[in-house]
Structure 1
Amino acid sequence: MPEHPLPASLPAEDRGLSPHTGYTRAHWETAADRLLTSALRYATPGQALIDLPGPPSKSGVRSDGLEGFARTFLLAAFRTAGASGKDPHGFLERYTAGLARGTRTPGRDDAESWPEIGHHNIQGQPMVESASVALALRLTAPWTWDTLPADDQDRVEQWLRGALRHTPAPNNWYLFPLTVAGFLESAGRGDAETRGAIERGLGLLDGWYQGQGWYSDGDGRSFDHYNGWALHMYPLLHAHLAGDRALLDQLGPRLREFLEGFALLFDANGAPIHHGRSLTYRFAAVAAVALGAVTGVTPLAPGVTRRILSGALRHFLDRGALTADGILSLGWYGPHEATLQRYSGPGSPYWASKGFLGLLLPPEDPVWTATEESAPSEGRDRVLALSAPGLLIQTTGRDGLARLHNHGSYKLDSREPERAPGNPLYARLAYSTRTGPTSAANAPDNHIALTVRGTRSARIRINPLSAGPDWLASWHRPVFPEDGPVLPSARIESLTLARGRLELRVHRTVGVPAGTPIHHSGWAVALSPEAAAAAEAELRAEIRLDGPEVTSQLLGLHGWQTQRTVRAPQGTAYGPWALVPELTGTVGEDPADAVFASLASLTGEGDPAPLAGQATAEVSGLTVTVRWADGTRTVVDFGNGVRTLPTVTEVPA
């Protein structure tokens, strides 16, 4: 992949201190300075708005300008607070001027005034930005807030209090008023309203906690990067800054447990897992890793912490995340529309600022002085089943690649109906650090679907079933587009077992009419049209797609009758064109003909061995026996009834 380095000279690499990335604290400071300098070129004359180039979000241009200000102000705060107020470029002076000007006449239609804070879906985006403004003020108070005249302080407070007096979205948004209230209390302006906002946010957070360090983002089972860059970050950083020992003792162990698994989801090449919405925030994914070091509640050694932090920053800076003039683009590496949401505007990518939270650690902290160590995804192969969120993590040491098998996360609360086609960033069976999902308009990767009356089903609400040390199972109701078929009694049970680079995928249909076509796809690979044409020409029992960085393989073991590759012309975040491997079968009358097994693999190893010969499968009734090449047997038993939980038994060679 061609590299597009940061458009400014970075310090020389230090491979002695940082043998994996070459990055030191000086690289982080330089990167922050360049990001801020580039963004501030687009500030209004009064510094109150930063109108970055690009298509507007659904909230409009003025809200986008506030977003550009608030999110880069947070970056400036991490940069200067961690340097004890040293600000050689004068960033804070500009942001302080912008604060005073933007809150002088909120809501006025002029070049500088900030929009007022409203309810979610009614001018609600400024509430999100209020949290960045408040946190930045809390971190830099001696050099920003304390320098404002009393009248300006009053106006800033009045604007911020709009976050306490309007209704947030029913998810992590309740932590924005908490963050605003935390700043106001730290500034000596606390009252019943601020106390209420903090207690309300912490109470909801407790209700969202599901275990193993994972929160659902509101009601339902939405598990994604918001766990790290919002649900852990805001309340725990508030507790740390307030010196609230009781709250630290309550929330700290959750973060520690979260990091034990989450740290595996960073590739040896630095990439975070490509799963969930708001991925254009990119290296904000490391915020929780930095938070663990800042608060002292991390299971990671300092050298491992910096390895993950610097690996992610370098990964994106080397791969074109910045435009030619140094602006973070709306996308993943470069611009990529399918990565975005309706709320994404030109300033949105600057929530990547959260990735710089580690700059709060002083230069003498071991995170900056220890020698870099290997990432958790390097070394031995690992499988970690997180039954609480329904996520199965699989890493392989030879290539440092991380995969996330999804048997419990979906973006839907309990009040919402299931609607096809679903969100590709949640609905897939698996995600990785080197592949992205295809768009909703293209053939889905890592998917299981029925075809009824020419229409394919979607996987929307994912219900966990059972779990083991190296496997997870779930079920979903096949959902068809509006005015399409309805199969109220149908369900598909799915099980993934990870073994090295191999993935055993077993599906069972329940209540599905005999004769119904069923399709299962594997890992999509971004390819050039020429490479795609060559792959399509090879029709074998095992589908193999060789991309620039990965090889995807898919082999039917039982129940699948045909195989092919399907084009995804919109590509993925990893390339503009992609192919998807797909197996097709038919649901039969006999119970064994309602069970389908396959073997999949995604690897960065060169010329991986064929899947044929790695395993074979026999099905008797609802029991699948898989014999591995080393003589071990895996027995998957779906039981005898609809409500029986799948079980897995491992029989040694």
Structure 2
Amino acid sequence: MPPLPGFSDNPFRTRMDLIRAAIALIKPLNPYKSPTRARITLATSTAAGFSETAAQLEGFSRPLWVVAFLLSSQATQSDPAIQTLLSDAELNLASWVQGLKEGTDPQSPEYWGDLGPSDQRMVEMETIAIALLVHPSAFSFSHDPPARGNLIRWLRQINAHAMPQNNWLFFRVLVNLALVLSLGVPLGEVKSHIDGALEVLDSFYIGDGWSSDGVWGAERKQADYYAGSFAMQFCALLFVKHAAALPAYAPRIEKYEAQAREFAKEYWRYFDADGAAIPFGRSLTYRYACAAFWAAVSYAGIEMAAPVDVGAVKGLLLRHLRWWSRQPHTFNTDGTHNIGYTYPNMYLSENYNSPQSPYWSLKSFLVLGLSSSSSFWSAGEQPHPLAAQGREALSRVKVVWPPRQLLVSAPEHHFLLSAGQSTSKPFKAREAKYGKFAYSSAFAFSVPTGPLLDQLAPDSTIAVYVQDGEEEGWKVRWEPYGVETGSVSVGGGYGYGEATFLRSTWRPWKRRGVRVETTLIAPGERWPGWHVRVHRIYIPRSTAPLRVVDGGFAVDAQTARDSSIFETRVCGSFDGVGEKEREEGWWNDGRGALVVSRGGASGVVDLTSSFSFGDAGAEGKRGECVILRADPNTNIIASRTLIPMVQHSFAVDGGDNQGDAEAVFCVVTGVFAIQASAEQHLERVWELWGARPSGAVDGGVVRLG
């Protein structure tokens, strides 16, 4: 796909840069507007699970995240350069005002329709509400009573129907704020709807500034980007900004400001030094909305403290946008956004993704609502908190407990380990989006295309298969329970002290009784590039032979010269490797498997023989390393990938403990990864690959070194 001029070549340094980028993003939409401008339908012809009318409304509403601010600037900005940009006839900002009038008029052929329960139109009302709050003189139709009446009637429908008990409740709050503050509806008429929604939203709070996307419990354990940038924190900050005019909500505003500061203390860890976010969870086609929290904090005027003061916030947001500007395959040939992450990928999408959905990414442009003289734009952009001077005390490894994750912000690889998220909601690829052991900003993760192993592409997770002829197929890690965190000792005379772990248990089948307890350990500086997985696998003696694979990170299968590594011979030995620096290829001697490509280095080693086991009745069983050629387009960053993995076969008929009801096996996997941007570490890849962790396991106690 071609790059998009104005976005792909944008330095993202100044407010003018963001104006140019916003114009570049919405200008290609012009040919797809309906005759009276109330609907936008892109040319890709894919469908979402809601009505086509709602999808076309989505196309109209989501660009309002920038249109409202551009129209406001056009009305108030004296800078002739900005006026010249905004007066472009092909941009036609006024068409969105016309479209709002037509879309809310029941007599118009482009009327958006009346709402029903859990209607997608409720989601699209959020952006319309913000447009009204940002620029009421354009969107409130104060001089056109019939149009104003239609708009009020249409918006008030959000109070008349049931909606999902998740982030959607904030849309009801914001719509009612707009009704009161921009359309003259008395607060008393809608206050109960605002307060009722806020009361339920309060029940989603899980601590340290984090909220789950719904009540955290057996049915839903989700704390992904909806928790911060897509909805929960983002909408709370919009409330802080605009509800300040309503004294009744002063205590809640103060609470939301405090929660935002708490959230920011660790949220920066999800972003790499070059701006890339760690993708996990659903709705990743919203792309650079991952950084919308930083835009919302600035827009709401929240005073932040180190390590995320205003200069750091500015850097986190703008570096993220710059990272996306270097991903040209996010655009169709006509300049519109496609569905996917770094390239078009319908396997990633959810059933609520229409061709117009990706424009929710424009939430990160909220800072266009700040004047060029604001503290955000006047502040100097600061580097990533871990790279800033005087920040040496910040830990590179940190458990963030509300989402049950361990963040590793190391110079060789930026990733997280995850232990406790899942959902019963039928999201596509939910096991891949929430249930894996690890997620990386550099290697991303893979989604399934089918039931076979290469189609499942089980990177950074464990998959099991019972060979009993019942054809149940592979089961991948899902619904972990018993999550705990702690530390293990790191010995060997290096003085590293302790390493942090997350532990959880998973049952592949409810009726078979097999369970897998996994301890994930991030050893930090002792073994750069590595993390360790200790699996205790409990298998009832009535179980047929079990096959288990433990996958490393999926790595780009292309070399720096764009040749395919899988067209070359797999090297069966590591002897002599490393004589050429940055040698690319794939190696597998059965004990370890490694791929080095333009995406970096990814490998696994079966470390079972390097660990001693003190468990009575537990057997350390060694596996075999393989490299899986994953189905194309499974990984969300690289379209062709190779996955190093360790495979084990367990048969429990024999052994010394046949009197026991179950057999216990202990296996240890070392997972190795160096991202392509870690130039210094890639030059040492063979040295680091050879320096592998070792240790001991005795029951629930693990020791490294």
Give the structure-2-normalised TM-score: 0.79
TM-superposed CA distance for 1:84, in Å, is 6.7
Q: 1:343 is matched with which residue?
A: 352
1:431 equivalent in alignment to 2:439: yes
For the structure 1 residues 369 and 512, does the alpha-carbon distance in structure 2 shift closer, same or farther, using more than 3 Å as the test? Answer: farther
Which 10-residue stretch deviates more, 165-174 or 455-464? Answer: 455-464
Q: Provide, for residues 500-558 of structure 1, a one-character-per-residue CA deviation record: whole Å limited to 9, x for no partner.
A: 43212222223554853322111111213721344744322222121313211211211
Q: 2:580 is matched with which residue?
A: none
TM-superposed CA distance for 1:286, in Å, is 1.0
Q: 1:16 is matched with which residue?
A: none
Tell me the SS of whatever aligns to 2:371: coil
Q: 1:564 is matched with which residue?
A: 626
Distance 1:626 1:524 in 2: 26
TM-superposed CA distance for 1:617, in Å, is 2.5
Tell me the SS of whatever aligns to 2:221: coil
Which 10-residue stretch deviates more, 138-147 or 40-49? Answer: 138-147
For the structure 1 residues 83 and 100, does the alpha-carbon distance in structure 2 shift closer, same or farther, using more than 3 Å as the test? Answer: closer
Q: 2:593 is matched with which residue?
A: 543
For the structure 1 residues 563 and 103, does the alpha-carbon distance in structure 2 shift closer, same or farther, using more than 3 Å as the test? Answer: same
For the structure 1 residues 91 and 550, does the alpha-carbon distance in structure 2 shift closer, same or farther, using more than 3 Å as the test? Answer: same
Tell me the SS of whatever aligns to 2:203: helix
Q: Provide, for residues 193-228 of structure 1, a one-character-per-residue CA deviation record: whole Å limited to 9, x for no partner.
A: 521221122112211111122111113211111112
For 1:170-181, what aligned pairs fall within 5 Å after superposition? 170-181=165-176
Q: 1:36 is matched with which residue?
A: 26
1:323 equivalent in alignment to 2:332: yes
Q: 1:487 is matched with which residue?
A: 512
TM-superposed CA distance for 1:82, in Å, is 6.4
Distance 1:335 1:378 in 2: 33
Distance 1:64 1:226 in 2: 21
For the structure 1 residues 29 and 439, does the alpha-carbon distance in structure 2 shift closer, same or farther, using more than 3 Å as the test? Answer: same
Q: Which amino acid aligns with 1:189?
A: V
Which 10-residue stretch deviates more, 617-626 or 555-564? Answer: 617-626
Match of 1:452 among 451, 466, 474: 466
Distance 1:303 1:373 in 2: 5
Q: Which amino acid aligns with 2:168?
A: W
For 1:394-409, what aligned pairs fall within 5 Å after superposition? 394-397=408-411, 399=412, 401-409=413-421
TM-superposed CA distance for 1:102, in Å, is 0.9
**Unmatched 5+ residue regions in structure 2?**
78-82, 488-498, 572-586, 609-620
In 2, are the aligned partners of 1:526 and 1:577 still within 8 Å (CA)?
yes
1:615 equivalent in alignment to 2:693: yes
Distance 1:234 1:9 in 2: 26
For 1:326-475, what aligned pairs fall within 5 Å after superposition? 326-376=335-385, 378=387, 382-397=396-411, 399=412, 401-412=413-424, 422-440=430-448, 441=450, 442=455, 443-453=457-467, 455-468=473-486, 471-475=500-504
Corresponding pairs, count: 601
In 1, are the aligned partners of 2:422 and 2:430 still within 8 Å (CA)?
no
TM-superposed CA distance for 1:496, in Å, is 3.1
Q: Provide, for residues 381-421 of structure 1, a one-character-per-residue CA deviation record: whole Å limited to 9, x for no partner.
A: 71110122201111113x5x4212111222336xx8xx997
TM-superposed CA distance for 1:298, in Å, is 3.1
Q: Which amino acid aligns with 2:512?
A: L
Distance 2:603 2:8 in 1: 39
Q: 2:564 is matched with which residue?
A: 530
Q: 2:665 is matched with which residue?
A: 594
In 2, are the aligned partners of 1:497 and 1:505 still within 8 Å (CA)?
no
For the structure 1 residues 130 and 354, does the alpha-carbon distance in structure 2 shift closer, same or farther, using more than 3 Å as the test? Answer: same
Distance 2:62 2:402 in 1: 32
For the structure 1 residues 102 and 345, does the alpha-carbon distance in structure 2 shift closer, same or farther, using more than 3 Å as the test? Answer: same
Q: 2:211 is matched with which residue?
A: 215
Q: Which amino acid aligns with 1:451?
A: Y
Match of 1:271 among 263, 271, 276: 276
Distance 1:393 1:10 in 2: 29
* Percent of residue pairs identical: 24
Q: Provide, for residues 153-187 of structure 1, a one-character-per-residue CA deviation record: whole Å limited to 9, x for no partner.
A: 11111111121111112211111111111111213
TM-superposed CA distance for 1:586, in Å, is 4.3
In 2, are the aligned partners of 1:267 and 1:377 still within 8 Å (CA)?
no
Distance 1:620 1:444 in 2: 28
Match of 2:293 among 288, 291, 316: 288
Distance 2:7 2:122 in 1: 36
Q: 1:69 is matched with which residue?
A: 60
For 1:96-107, what aligned pairs fall within 5 Å after superposition? 96-105=97-106
For the structure 1 residues 34 and 420, does the alpha-carbon distance in structure 2 shift closer, same or farther, using more than 3 Å as the test? Answer: closer
TM-superposed CA distance for 1:273, in Å, is 1.3
In 2, are the aligned partners of 1:542 and 1:612 still within 8 Å (CA)?
no
Q: 1:230 is matched with which residue?
A: 231
In 2, are the aligned partners of 1:535 and 1:545 still within 8 Å (CA)?
no
Q: 1:583 is matched with which residue?
A: 646
Tell me the SS of whatever aligns to 1:580: strand
Distance 1:154 1:411 in 2: 41
In 2, are the aligned partners of 1:535 and 1:544 still within 8 Å (CA)?
no
Tell me the SS of whatever aligns to 1:507: strand
In 2, are the aligned partners of 1:532 and 1:578 still within 8 Å (CA)?
no
Give the structure-1-normalised TM-score: 0.85
Q: 2:583 is matched with which residue?
A: none
Distance 1:79 1:265 in 2: 30
For the structure 1 residues 59 and 535, does the alpha-carbon distance in structure 2 shift closer, same or farther, using more than 3 Å as the test? Answer: farther
In 1, are the aligned partners of 2:627 and 2:645 still within 8 Å (CA)?
yes
TM-superposed CA distance for 1:293, in Å, is 2.0
Q: Which amino acid aligns with 1:225?
A: Y
For 1:23-62, what aligned pairs fall within 5 Å after superposition? 23-54=13-44, 55-62=46-53
Distance 1:218 1:266 in 2: 24
Distance 1:534 1:10 in 2: 34
For 1:620-631, what aligned pairs fall within 5 Å after superposition? 620-627=698-705
Distance 2:458 2:600 in 1: 18
Tell me the SS of whatever aligns to 2:408: strand
For 1:143-162, what aligned pairs fall within 5 Å after superposition? 143-162=138-157
Q: 1:516 is matched with which residue?
A: 546
Which 10-residue stretch deviates more, 591-600 or 339-348? Answer: 591-600
For the structure 1 residues 432 and 31, does the alpha-carbon distance in structure 2 shift closer, same or farther, using more than 3 Å as the test? Answer: same
TM-superposed CA distance for 1:249, in Å, is 1.4
Which 10-residue stretch deviates more, 85-94 or 157-166? Answer: 85-94
Distance 1:127 1:190 in 2: 21
Distance 1:407 1:23 in 2: 37
In 2, are the aligned partners of 1:82 and 1:361 still within 8 Å (CA)?
no
Match of 1:202 among 187, 198, 201: 198
TM-superposed CA distance for 1:317, in Å, is 2.3
Q: Which amino acid aligns with 1:473?
A: L
